[in-house]
Every structure is written in structure tokens, then in C-alpha cells.
Structure 1
Amino acid sequence: MQLLEAIDVHADGLKRAACAAGPAAPVPNCPKWTVDELVTHVAFVHCFVVGLAVNRPAKPAPPPGWDDVLGWWDGQRLALREALSRDPEALAFSPYPGFASTVGDWTRRMAHETAIHRLDAESALEDGPKTRFSPEFANDGIDEFLTYLTPRLGNRADVRVTTPERTWTLGEPAAEVDGAADDVYRALWGRPHRASVTGDLAPLAAP
């Protein structure tokens, strides 16, 4: 699956789960959020990245009300696809001091941001779909988390991460994560998983 297509696929899955659960449903993967707050966050991020991708950063203002947020998000998804359909090597605005970003970087970031939050929306369902990510997509997500996102957030990465397909060793490993790529991907993002974890992953925590 191409990353631009992945944004659409996972956003569709997220929206299906969110609408089935309803706006007031709690999100077990993110205990501080309701489904409404989750969807508003995702819509905000998609809108924010539209501005970054076209070098016109702005602070989005999601509308109040569930139906209005869903409609606004639909519009932002169309705008996001158009903004990310540009040359992937084109420079884009970076909110991370000292780090450059390209359109391709934001495409990758949004593919994985949306995929992880799809899992969150599905966790709000009592009998939700058992989404699993392909090794190709999950390994790319692990690499994006460790080599792109972590340093830009200023987090310390002293970890060894192993899947059947790849190994990453960063710093002087104080923690190790081992398992199927899908489970390791979830573990790094602090979602339920079946990976083996030794040591503390807290220094890697993403917001």
C-alpha cells in the first residue's frame, strides 16, 4: 500500500469506527479522550499539515458539534490529499527547529498518525475490527517513529528494536523491543500489543 493511499484507507477505517461508537464513547487506548475528542484531534492535525505541506502554516479552528466536525474533517481530508500529491521531494514547512521536512515526510507522518488513531477509534467499539498492519507498513512505521519523529520531538532513543525483518539499534540500548512488526509498532506508540519489552520505553513516548 502506498503511503498516500494509506492515509485514505486508515482515515476511512477510523471514521467508520468513530461513527459506530458515537461521539461520547470513551477511547480505551487513550483514556483521557472521548471519540469526539479523538476525531477533533485527527481533523485538527490533518488541517494543520495541509498548511505545512504548502508552506502556509496556520492554526486550525475545528467547529463545535459532532456533525460539523465530521463534515469539516471530510473537507480537510480532500485538502490534505491535494497538498500531499505534490512532488514528495519538495520542501515543506517544518515546525521542528533544526530539522527540514519535505512533502514526502508529511505524507509518511500522516499515514502513521492516521493508522495509529484508527486503532484508537476501534478500541472504542465493544466488538471492533481486529485490524492488523502488514509487515511492510508496520516496519516503515517503526522506522518513521525511531529515525524521524523521535529526534524531532527531542526524545532520547537508547533502544534496540527487532522484528523478523529488521533491527534498529539507537544509542546505548537501555530498552529492547522484540516481536512481530505490527506488535512492535503498537508498543512504541504505547498501544496494546504482544511484543516483548525489556526496560523502560517512557523516554520514547510520543504525544
Structure 2
Amino acid sequence: MRHIARVHSWTVAAGADPSGENVRAGTPPDDWDALLAWWEEQREALRKMFTAGPDAPAWLSFGNYTRTVGSWARRQAHEAAIHRIDAELARGGGTVQFDPAFAGDGIDELLAMLVWGRRDWSAFAADGTVLVHAEDIGRLWTLRLLPGKAPRLADTEQPFEPDVTVEGSADAVYRAVWRRPSAASVTGDAALLEPLAAP
């Protein structure tokens, strides 16, 4: 709750200051009741920000995104979705099943946008290819890993033998690439997935 509310406050600040010069996250209160009230304030402020429309300017620290409210809407949708899984796991019992198209977008956001946000790749020695397959929506992502370099998306039309494959439904693969419990199948050298963790 504290994390999500703080991220919402940061997002709202980014919408209010597209230059990014004075964007700061708020400080969540320690008291639980006060935190709930503050979380509600941030949620409402975020919803109001989104009414500006997807093309409205907004600052983002992630280099591959266009600096618009639409980019923040996408980022916050998946931020909330992944942490919803966390909350449901902590509660015990089942977790939400995500719509395949939404889950596929979350896979794409991580692999095509967020992963590149890490500034220092020098600690990664992975060398190989990764195939990510969301079977129910017929989507493939192929990534080439080289030591000390950011992963790069490769042409899925070119035949190759992956060193590790992650496959299953879009919902299962979404959870797997975001490092949550998942029914996705992982075959091959799973260590190659380390550079693909969200920064």
C-alpha cells in the first residue's frame, strides 16, 4: 500500500511538471489510517491526471517511453496489476487471472521498454538467446544477451535455437517474466533470465 501510493504520488508529480525538474514522490504517513487516506488521495489525483488525455505531456524517467500521460497510464496499469498479485498472495488463496491482451501488453512493456532502463550492465555476463512465447495470443519475443550489454530484441522471423524458453498462456508468462509465481514452462538455462528482471 505504501509503495503503490508513493509511486502514484510520483506519477502525479510527473504529470504536473513535464520538465521533470521538480518531480518528487510524496512521503507516506506511518499511521495505518492516515496511510489509507493518503493512498486514496493519490489514487484520485492519478485518475484526475489521466483525464488530461493520453497525449498530454508528462515527465518519465524511463528512456524508451514517450513522455506522455498515456505512457504513465500503461506503466501504472502494470505496476498495480503486479502488486495486486503480491497482495493476493500475501492474503492467501487464489489470485486474479488477467485478460490475455492485457497480460501480453505487460510482457511487452517489460521486455521492450522497462528492461532497458537499467543504466549499468557491467555486472551481467549472460550470453545466449531467450524466447518468450505467449501461446494463447500467438506472440513471441526473442532476446539476444551479450556480456555487459543491454539485452536486445531480435527478429522473431529468423530461425534459431533458444538457450532458454518461457512459454505458456499470456497470464502465466506475464507472471513469470515479472518474477511472480507462475504456471509458465521454463526450459533451458534459466540463469539467462536474470538480466531481464525489472530494474
The two structures share one fold, judged by TM-score above 0.5: yes
> What is the aligned length?
168
Unaligned runs of 5+ in 1: 1-38
Distance 1:194 1:53, change over 3 A: same
Residues 99 and 152 of structure 1 are in contact (CA less than 8 Å); yes or no, is this contact kept in structure 2? no
- Partner residue of 1:152? 117
1:64 partner amino acid: D
> Measured at CA, do residues 98 and 120 of structure 1 come closer, stay the same or move farther in structure 2, by a change above 3 Å?
closer
8 Å Cα contact 1:188-1:205 kept in structure 2:
yes
User: Partner of 2:140 in structure 1?
Assistant: 167
Q: CA deviation at 1:174?
A: 4.4
Distance across 2 between alignment mates of 1:98 and 1:148: 6
- Between the aligned partners of 2:166 and 2:101, the Cα distance in structure 1 is 18
1:72, 1:191 → 2: CA distance? Answer: 27
**What is the identity percentage for the equivalent residue pairs of Structure 1 and Structure 2?**
46
Aligned partners of 1:98 and 1:119: how far apart in 2? 26
Answer yes or no: is 1:136 the counterpart of 2:98.
Answer: no
| Cα deviation 1:89-129 (Å, max 9, x = unaligned) | 233112235764221111000000000000100111233x4
SS in 2 for 1:168: strand
Asked if the contact 2:62/2:114 (under 8 Å) is kept, the reply is no
- Offset at residue 53 of structure 1 (A): 2.1
Answer yes or no: is 1:45 the counterpart of 2:7: yes
Q: Which has the higher contact order (CA 8 A, sep 6+)?
A: 1
Paired residue type of 1:61: T
| CA deviations over 1:54-103 (Å, ceiling 9, x no partner) | 22512311111111111100000000011122121233112235764221
**Aligned-pair Cα RMSD in Å:** 2.1
Which is greater in Rg?
A: 2
**Distance in 2, Cα, partners of 1:191 & 1:98:** 24
Could you tell me how far apart the structure 2 residues matched to 1:97 and 1:71 are? Answer: 33
Amino acid at match of 2:134: T
What is the match of residue 155 of structure 2?
none
TM-score (norm 2): 0.77
User: Residue 171 of structure 1 aligns to a residue in which SS?
Assistant: strand
Match of 2:57 among 82, 87, 91: 91
Q: Determine the C-alpha separation between the residues in 2 that align with 1:117 and 1:66.
A: 18
